[in-house]
């Protein structure tokens, strides 16, 4: 039956679903020490960016190769993300305890800066050679440049996050799929922005395609 053929949309969906399950398992496994969560996320983004362009190979093998390569840079980025997230959390906790508008404003401002500075940072580190500061700056610049699209990314990720916490069944599904789906969603948008920027005169070339790596 054509419905079950390798060219059918259903078959491609099942294959992609299995890829995301594998990616999610690898991410969870390598994120367990917490301190390596950043490197794990960069590795997952490395695979997800290729998935978004249908150029991925073996998911597990590609993930662990990317994890080893990005261990040194991914750990500091992950720690920055954890500290930033905790700072935002504290602002809202203070607001909840004091009901002070100041802490509410601080929390919202911090959350916006956190999202814009880190949303594309992990895909950027997965795709380009760069310093941590430059990666964070580039993430902020891309989020600003593609502001409306970034709002859409944040909205889609927020919907996915809420759905995976809706009830017990979806929470269990979220454990199997959640982080992988979120990472794939962000990377599916990010790769479009990266490709547009790479076409510009003097722009960086993707490191795996360049003979000599260039700083973005």
* Residue 9 lies inside a defined structural domain of this protein: yes
Mean pLDDT, residues 187-211: 78
* Residue 31 lies inside a defined structural domain of this protein: yes
Whole-number Å distance between alpha carbons of 123 and 74: 11
Give every CB contact of residue 207 below 8 A, 6+ residues apart in sequence.
127, 128, 129, 213
pTM of the shown model: 0.86
Backbone angles phi, psi at 99, to 5 degrees: 60, 30
* Residue 38 lies inside a defined structural domain of this protein: yes
pLDDT higher than 50, residue 212: no
Task: Tell me which residue range forms the domain holding 163.
Answer: 2-198
Mean pLDDT, residues 48-62: 90
How does pLDDT run across 120-174, given as a tens digit for each residue?
999 999 999 999 999 999 999 999 999 999 999 999 999 999 999 888 888 898 8
* Residue 26 lies inside a defined structural domain of this protein: yes
* Residue 213 lies inside a defined structural domain of this protein: no
Mean pLDDT, residues 80-85: 92
- 27 in Cβ contact with 40 (< 8 Å): yes
């Amino acid at each position: 039956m054509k419905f079950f053929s390798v060219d059918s949309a259903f078959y491609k969906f099942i294959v992609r679903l299995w890829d995301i399950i594998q990616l999610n398992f690898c991410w969870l496994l390598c994120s367990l020490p917490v301190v390596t969560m950043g490197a794990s996320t960069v590795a997952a983004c490395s695979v997800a960016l290729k998935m978004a362009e249908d150029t991925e190979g073996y998911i597990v093998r590609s993930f662990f190769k990317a994890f080893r390569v990005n261990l040194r840079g991914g750990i500091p980025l992950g720690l920055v993300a954890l500290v930033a997230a905790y700072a935002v959390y504290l602002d809202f906790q203070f607001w909840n305890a004091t009901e002070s508008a100041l802490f509410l404003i601080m929390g919202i401002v911090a959350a916006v800066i956190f999202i814009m500075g880190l949303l594309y940072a992990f895909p950027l580190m997965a795709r380009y050679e760069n310093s941590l500061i430059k990666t964070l700056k580039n993430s902020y610049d891309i989020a600003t440049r593609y502001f409306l699209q970034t709002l859409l990314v944040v909205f889609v990720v927020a919907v996915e996050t809420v759905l995976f916490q809706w009830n017990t069944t979806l929470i269990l599904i979220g454990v199997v799929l959640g982080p992988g789906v979120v990472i794939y969603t962000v990377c599916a948008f990010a790769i479009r922005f990266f490709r547009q920027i790479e076409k510009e005169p003097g722009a960086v070339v993707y490191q795996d395609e360049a003979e000599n790596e260039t700083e973005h």
